[in-house]
Structure 1
């Protein structure tokens, strides 16, 4: 199997009903909006997807439903965030059974593995499956840095094909590209570095606010890739206050509020998360309101040459 690890890939939110059950109707509305905007893949089960609160059966349902919705047009990628190697291998097996076309992998959860343990964890999982894999490198949130030397060791696994780069060090994109060339695709995982990362050679953008603003996110990326920097920058400057909602412990609540404002989501989260209240809610609501009021008219970004 292969995936073109390029373009905008939303880390989609999981939709819940008022009864705390999966809301597949609203989930379908959001996925269709993503596809219509021109995203290159759907990523399930990340932080935004509230994966740590989902049951195994709910994850199965979401994978199967997404595979059905995309109709083979774009890949469906499931995040693996497990505590054990055995658990990661099992998650990869289930992903394939459910029709997923790729995996995004975090280092082991909870236990802070050393470099050798982390590399072995990735290798053993990769060797257990033929699904393409993107390594998620986010030492700020998850405590383990996947270094270039570690990536070098992982190159023996042909199905490890990409890196989600979330170190916040934008020069790391250049380091990876210089070291590995076309062997590894690099996708930025930080919304507030989306345009900058694209201009530095990132192949794609694993995005958060795309959940509420899919067309605007795709437009920034496609315009930048086409060299129409001025137009991309104009949209990006409008977008930045909204994108900053992604770099917060309450990013799920923030982005779900934005999804409600654009009519492609609900605000329901799963406890212990709760909807925002008080001054925090007022602040986020004001940012979203301003963004909606000044939402730019987009050029025909789907047909750029």
Structure 2
């Protein structure tokens, strides 16, 4: 399946039960809600999916489950985040074997690779597979930036097709466009910059709070792409206190808590993560409950109908 890198791509959470096992029925319930809202693809095993604590066997089950729910309607994209080129190549092969349609690829983990090492890592993985690849550019959290010069060295590789733009620099969307035109699709990777980067010409977004609020997220995207920025902004302003959950170290816990309140998930996280507690949890619930009381349902329905 060719991937059109446009629209909303949820980086879905991984659901666990009280026995610390995968909760596939709950996982599939959330995916069904995403598809119903009109997302363009599903990303499995990202940072929000607690990839560092999910085994390869569990990842294969999540992909199998995702493919079943997606039923060919949208692509399933699987994240690779590893410190070893050899492991990354092996995972790329597994992802292809499992039947997923794309890869999201981070720079090497744990070791801060040089620019040359990072480019070679991406090149080696990309040349080992024919699956479309979305590079993840997040120097804030992962300390390695994919610079314009590095993209220049990678543009001859046809299956490196898109970037998840998480540098936190909104103007980087313009820099990428000025330098490469349409060579790389650009997906906003930071929830709190959704309006700004889509308005600057980003093709779509890899979103986090979409896990709990798929319809609102898709509505923002549709309004902006239909040049109805005032309506997108009205939803975005309502959404902002929730979107700020995405830029905290405990984003998984916050977003899973929000999923509970929209009946799309549970609070259960995998250790070493712990569920929110005390004032932190109380304040998060207040933000969620306030948002739910003021949910712009009519405007969202108008956006989804576009």
TM-score, normalised on structure 2?
A: 0.98
Aligned to 2:132: 132
Once the two structures are superposed, residues 202-250 of structure 1 have per-residue CA deviations (whole angstroms, 9 ceiling, x without a partner) of: 0011000000000000000110110011111111100000000111011
Pairwise CA distance, 1:115? 0.4
Task: Give 1:299's match in structure 2, choosing from 298, 301, 305.
Answer: 301
Task: State the superposition RMSD in angstroms.
Answer: 0.7
Write the distance in 2 (CA, Å) between the matches of 1:60 and 1:165.
Answer: 26
Aligned to 2:74: 74
Q: How many residues align?
A: 304
* Equivalences for residues 139-288 of structure 1 within 5 A: 139-288=139-288
Aligned to 2:54: 54
Write the distance in 1 (CA, Å) between the matches of 2:155 and 2:233.
Answer: 35
Pairwise CA distance, 1:65? 1.0
2:215·2:304 contact (CA, 8 Å) conserved in 1? no
Write the distance in 2 (CA, Å) between the matches of 1:87 and 1:213.
Answer: 34
* Equivalences for residues 19-98 of structure 1 within 5 A: 19-98=19-98
**SS where residue 299 of structure 1 aligns?**
helix
TM-score, normalised on structure 1?
A: 0.99
**SS where residue 300 of structure 1 aligns?**
helix
Once the two structures are superposed, residues 163-219 of structure 1 have per-residue CA deviations (whole angstroms, 9 ceiling, x without a partner) of: 000000000000001111111000000000001110000001100000000000000
Once the two structures are superposed, residues 93-136 of structure 1 have per-residue CA deviations (whole angstroms, 9 ceiling, x without a partner) of: 00011111000100000111000000000001000000000110
Write the distance in 1 (CA, Å) between the matches of 2:53 and 2:163.
Answer: 25
**SS where residue 73 of structure 1 aligns?**
coil
**Runs (5+) with no aligned partner, structure 2:** none
